[in-house]
Copies of this chain bind each other. A is one copy, B any other.
Amino acid sequence: MATHAALRANKPLVQCLTNVVSSNFMANVLLSAGASPAMVDNPEEAAQFARIAGAVLVNLGTPTAAQVESMRLAVASAHEAGRPWVLDPIGAGGLAWRGSVAAQLLEFKPAVIRGNASEIIGLAGLGSTSRGFDTSNDPAEAVPAAIELLSHASAVSASGPIDHVVGWVANGTDEPRPWLIKIAGGSAWLPRVTASGCSLGALVAAYTAVASDALTAVTAAHVHFALAAELAEATATGPGSFAAAFIDGLDAVDAFLITTKARFEAAPV
């Protein structure tokens, strides 16, 4: 709730290096939720811009050679400047080239890795037989893979009917240990709208720019997203009207809704 207020107050600038299918919808998701999108993804400017952005999103949906170079420059620059960045490894488990790209990017320590269950499993087991674009896995099945990926990132999210997020939690003087947060809600229409998952990754990036830690950022983003989808479902008559209503919903979600409607549970793994 405090994190949501921080998003609205700060309107963080989010640099998105993303696939062509998602760019318009993603920008509208960020604008409506309360952030400022900027899709600067050429090699000439990517590093310079990453230093002024509040956070960086890297989405591997439709990479080109030039965009991949920009991704490397942007995350190196973000890493150096201490800016959080988020990796959305679409297809990295199933297509050889982007698998190797993802492996290289992981060296620059994303704050968050976000994908659907199959993508998280695919990323953790690069070189395995996963198709990579498959969405048949349940998020709960991805938890071991997500925990494995915590060696690279502060939090890892596998989204689905019930989102499963793992991340490091420091409690007083104890060693940080991984927690699992399960977030319910959303709508069955969401996966019927292209780039909805990609846009969730961008919203996670926006929240990393204002949250106290990565796990809080992911949770706040997923809750915001799920509540907007529930608002939209109440009026939608199909995937097209749902998409427009969902954008309306991202704007409408407020502190009262979050307090009364958010559904999630957290526990140490």
Contacts and interface: CB of A to CB of B under 8 A. Distances in A.
Contacts of A31: 192-194, 239
B251 A245 contact: no
Contact of A240 (B49, B66, B243): B243
A248 B241 contact: yes
A250 B14 CA distance: 30
A245 B239 contact: no
A244 B241 CA distance: 5
A252 B238 contact: yes
Nearest to A246: B240
Contact of A37 (B95, B194, B241): B194
Given A49-B95, A97-B45, A240 B24 contact: no
Interface in A83-141: 91, 95-98, 131, 133
A3 interface: no
Contact of A48 (B28, B44, B66, B95): B95
Contacts of A1: none
A249 B13 CA distance: 30
Query: How many identical subunits does the complex contain?
Result: 3
Interface in A178-201: 192-195
A194 B97 contact: no
Nearest to A239: B32
A192 B239 contact: no
Contacts of A243: 28, 240, 244, 247
Contact of A194 (B24, B66, B95): B24
A237 interface: yes
Contacts of A21: 23-24, 27, 37, 39
Interface stretch (A56-64, A153-161, A214-222): A56-64
Nearest to A30: B194
15 contacts: A21-B23, A28-B239, A28-B240, A36-B133, A38-B133, A40-B91, A41-B62, A42-B63, A52-B131, A238-B248, A238-B252, A239-B248, A240-B243, A241-B244, A241-B248
Interface of A: 13, 19-25, 27-28, 31-32, 36-42, 44-45, 48-49, 52, 61-66, 91, 95-98, 131, 133, 192-195, 237-241, 243-249, 251-252
Given A36-B133, A40-B62, A241-B244, 10 more contacts: A21-B24, A24-B25, A28-B243, A31-B194, A42-B64, A45-B98, A48-B96, A49-B95, A239-B251, A240-B243
